[in-house]
Amino acid sequence: MTRPEPALSVVVPMFDEVSVLPLLARRLRAVLDGLGEAYEVVAVDDGSTDGTGAGLAALRAGWPQLRVLRLRRNSGHQAALVAGVLRARGRYVVSIDADLQDPPETIVEMLRLARADDLDIVYGVRADRRTDSAFKRWTAAGYYRLMRRLVGKQVPAQAGDFRLLSRAAVEALRELPERSPVLRLVVPWLGFPSGEVSYQRDERAAGRTKYPLSRMAGLAAESVTSFSAAPLRFATWLGLAGVAVCGVLVVVAVLAWLAGSTVSGWPSLYVAVLFLGAVQLLCLGLLGEYVARIYTAVQGRPAYFVAADSADSADSPDGPDGPDSPAAGVDAAAGPAGAGELADSLR
Ligand code: UDP
Ligand code: MG
């Protein structure tokens, strides 16, 4: 690669965030220009349909460090993050939400800590969640407790996707075979030297959340099944318990029969059949979860498609900078079609 790598890349996944764009640009730019070092901002447009793409193109005109990575369709927050992080070129890579809930000013502190202590990972840890609803606080606390049990103590509580990664950590993530890793879990799993910076999580500056309950539940299910076979074991234990209970019922029934008492019979049978049916269904469902994961892994479909990367042709005399990770996504714009796609994205 002939282009000098910037000291810092800031990856911002965004989906329909046109209303927050001007605020974000103003605050983020003030912070990054103040660093006095070369940087790039990788805005990942995750298939927005509200004019975010046009907004970014307009911003790019006056902000040369802004790089726009447009995904061809909405692929979800995690996939957008992975796309941006794996393509970022900086020696350090920070990921941050577009809605200014994570204060850009904290980036400076993360960078200083990483350099001072030679850390590969710096987590942004929420000092409190006053701005979140009680329900969100409660579900988040449960989620983090579960993750610490499954992945290990190195999962910091209350750390979302606002974090700094060193180049070494990014390259390690690239080595992972998963196509859509849950970064909150695989980053702690790396176990690299890490630190924490606490920050106050603000209200969303504009627009509305893209994380309804269904998506949170999806992330939790994906997190559990991608890191642990514990639920499968739970099914086994439940199955065993079911068998034990039924064994007792059988003994009771036999004893009652021996004692000659009239056993009406059907309620116990009814209970046993229902219970066994429930246990079997539950186990089947859990098995299905894993079979589904194996199925998608075997299919090996990419988690996202890159439509255009403004860095590929705009400011590089030698074209795209090499092949992307095979584990990541697919460059739909690779090859001669790239320039056309780019022009398309800037329009
Ligand atoms: N986001 C994304 N793709 C999606 C959903 C969300 O890139 O499909 C981005 C979104 O634009 C924001 C970040 O992910 O920058 C976090 O989303 P949001 O603020 O809606 O989640 P919350 O903070 O409410 O959990
Ligand atoms: Mg948010």
Determine which helix (DSSP H) or strand (DSSP E) holds 209, and give its type and residue range: none
pTM value is 0.78
Average pLDDT on 36-55 reads: 96
Residue closest via CA to ligand 1's atom 17 equals 210
Residue 97 CA to ligand 2 center (angstroms) comes to 6
Q: Could you tell me which of 178, 143, 138, 173 has the C-alpha nearest to residue 160?
A: 143
Which residues pair with residue 27 across a beta bridge?
A: none
Ligand 1 atom nearest 80 alpha carbon: 7
Q: Each residue of 214-273: pLDDT tens digit?
A: 888 888 888 888 777 777 777 777 777 877 887 787 777 778 778 877 556 666 776 778
The reported pLDDT for the residue numbered 35 is 95
The reported pLDDT for the residue numbered 306 is 85
Residue closest via CA to ligand 1's atom 9 equals 14
The reported pLDDT for the residue numbered 4 is 67
Residue closest via CA to ligand 1's atom 16 equals 97
CB-ligand 1 contact for 99 (6 Å cutoff): yes
Residue closest via CA to ligand 1's atom 8 equals 76
Q: Each residue of 318-344: pLDDT tens digit?
A: 444 444 444 445 554 333 333 333 333
CB-ligand 1 contact for 28 (6 Å cutoff): no
CB-ligand 1 contact for 84 (6 Å cutoff): no
Residue 214 CA to its chain's centroid (Å): 15
Ligand nearest to the CA of 12: 1
Radius of gyration of the chain (CA): 25
Q: Could you tell me which of 235, 237, 223, 14 has the C-alpha nearest to residue 139?
A: 223
Protein residues with C-beta less than 5 angstroms from the ion ligand 2 = 97, 99, 101
